[in-house]
Amino acid sequence: MQSRAPGNGSGPTCSAASTDPRRALSTNLVLAVDIGGTKLAAGLVDRAGDVVAATQVATPQGAGADGLWDALVGVVRAAVAELTPGAKLVACGVGAGGPMEPEGDRVSPLNIPGWRGFPLRSRLAALTSLPTFVDNDAKALALAEGWRGAAAGSRHFIAMVVSTGVGGGVVLDGRMLEGRLGNAGHIGHVVVEPAGRLCGCGGHGCLEAEASGLAIAAATGSPAQTASPDAVDRAGTLVGRAVASVASLLDLDLAVVAGSVALGFGTPFFAAAQRELSDRARLSFSRDARIIPALLGRHGPLVGAGAVGWRGVGSPLPTPGAGSDGAPAVPR
Ligand SMILES: [Zn+2]
């Protein structure tokens, strides 16, 4: 079934990201699915982490569980239709907003109210007849940036998204941190202002409640895109403050930041973040920690979902940034 996004009257839009249509011939591919509050995207990702086709549709706002699922089915089928002769799907990898149950058996993305306890993994597995793996979208992005992005070559880093909300994933000793229920990396709920704003989690002064796009808009009365230099500086400072605590806690020397708010703010944001990080992280092992922009751009979430799929079928990701000790530099 082909779904249409309300308001724009258009179905999924497809674009081949590869300039060489022969690339997919005789190639194993992962069907990558990225589920966000703004858009639903699907694509085909090869073992090198290249997105060879991509398609997306606006997330139906206000839709119920079935309406959201119908939209997702449309975008998944559009991506599968991009398969070229000889290419074969070996898995389906999914990045979705949290929280979720372990393995993504049931997801309840905070920014998609129509899905609460939705059985995403089993529904996609039944739809695609593929081994299907689901993980948090920020953790998926960490996989992607470690594989092909700004953290390639690093075995110890945090990757963050600063956009509507704030999320993160931590790679330590070359492995993604999971935690008891798979929720490790929620840097958005590190407290940066003890008497700060009420957070969606129920606490006060979390990074997400102070520096996310929604928080900046609520605090300043205008969208984050039009934030004043002072507001940009403050957001960067608070992100750097949270990263400083995490860097000292976990012995990290690199934070990679993606997301429309951080990347939209650009250089002044990152300068403020680095200044605060350098001021606050003073231990011998953390004082040189860096905070830098993510590299993968608009396809980062699909590369991350692809990485979730490749990891799920036990296929070691290529190691372009293998460390000098020969150990794989790519998260597993
Ligand atoms: Zn919170």
Distance 13 CA to ligand 1 centre (A): 35
- The full DSSP string for 218-266 is HHHSS-GGG--HHHHHHHHHHHHHHHHHHHHHHT--EEEEESHHHHHH-
Distance 168 CA to ligand 1 centre (A): 13
Output the CA 73–ligand 1 centroid distance in Å: 32
What is the model's pLDDT at position 18? Answer: 43
Q: Is the pLDDT of residue 7 over 70?
A: no
Q: Which of 150, 59, 155, 167 is CA-nearest to residue 113?
A: 59
User: What pLDDT score does 5 carry?
Assistant: 35
As a CATH number, domain 13-136 is 3.30.420.40
Distance between Cα 200 and ligand 1 center (Å): 6
Average of per-residue pLDDT values in the chain = 88
For residue 207, the CA-to-ligand 1 centroid distance in Å is 7
Query: Does pTM top 0.75 for this prediction?
Result: yes
Tell me the per-residue pLDDT of 257-268, one tens digit each, with 9 for 90 and over. 999 899 999 999
Q: Any bridge partners for residue 142, and if so which? A: none
CATH number for the domain running over 150-295? 3.30.420.40
Q: What is the DSSP letter of 133?
A: E
Q: For position 8, what pLDDT does the model report? A: 39
pLDDT value at 331 more than 90:
no
The answer on pLDDT for 25 being more than 60 is no
Query: Measured in angstroms, how far is the CA atom of residue 4 from the centroid of ligand 1?
Result: 34
Report the separation in Å between the CA atom of 96 and the middle of ligand 1, taken as the mean of its atom positions.
19
Distance 265 CA to ligand 1 centre (A): 22
pLDDT for residue 183: 84
Distance, in Å, from the CA atom of 34 to the CA atom of 296, rounded to the nearest integer, reads: 15
Across the strands, what pairs with 254?
290
Checking if the pLDDT of 163 tops 50, the result is: yes
**With bands split at pLDDT 50, 70 and 90, how would you rate the model's confidence at 321?**
very low
> How many Å lie between the centroid of ligand 1 and the Cα of residue 251?
23
CA quadruple 181, 187, 190, 196: dihedral sign = negative
- Residues around the ion ligand 1 (C-beta < 5 A): 189, 199, 201, 203, 206
Query: If you measure from the C-alpha of residue 316 to the centroid of ligand 1, how many angstroms do you get, rounded to a whole number?
Result: 34
- Residue pair 186/160 in contact by the 8 Å Cβ criterion: no
141-151: pLDDT as tens digits: 999 999 999 99
Measured distance CA(98)–CA(111) in Å, rounded: 9
Q: Where does the chain hold its CATH 3.30.420.40 domain(s)?
A: 13-136, 150-295
Report CA(127)–ligand 1 centroid distance (Å): 35
Q: Which residue has the higher pLDDT, 215 or 321?
A: 215
Average of per-residue pLDDT across 24-51: 89
Check whether 136 has a pLDDT greater than 50: yes
Compute the distance from residue 160 Cα to the ligand 1 centre, in Å: 15
Q: For residue 70, how far is its CA from the centre of ligand 1 (angstroms)?
A: 31
One-character DSSP codes across 50-90 = -EEEEEEEEPPTT--HHHHHHHHHHHHHHHHTTPPTT-EEE
Q: What is the pLDDT of residues 177-222, one digit of tens each?
A: 998 888 899 999 999 999 999 998 889 999 999 999 999 999 999 9
Q: How close is the Cα of 286 to the center of ligand 1, in Å? A: 25
User: Can you point out the beta strands (E) in 259-323?
Assistant: 290-293
329 confidence band (pLDDT: 50, 70, 90):
very low
Split at pLDDT 50, 70, 90, the class of 111 is confident
Give 63 Cα–ligand 1 centroid separation in angstroms: 26
Pick from 127, 159, 201, 169: which is nearest to 291 by CA? 159
- Give the Å distance between the CA of 188 and the centre of ligand 1: 6
Q: What is the mean pLDDT of residues 87-97?
A: 96
Q: Could you give the C-alpha distances from 44 to 110, 216, 271, in angstroms and in order?
A: 26, 35, 36
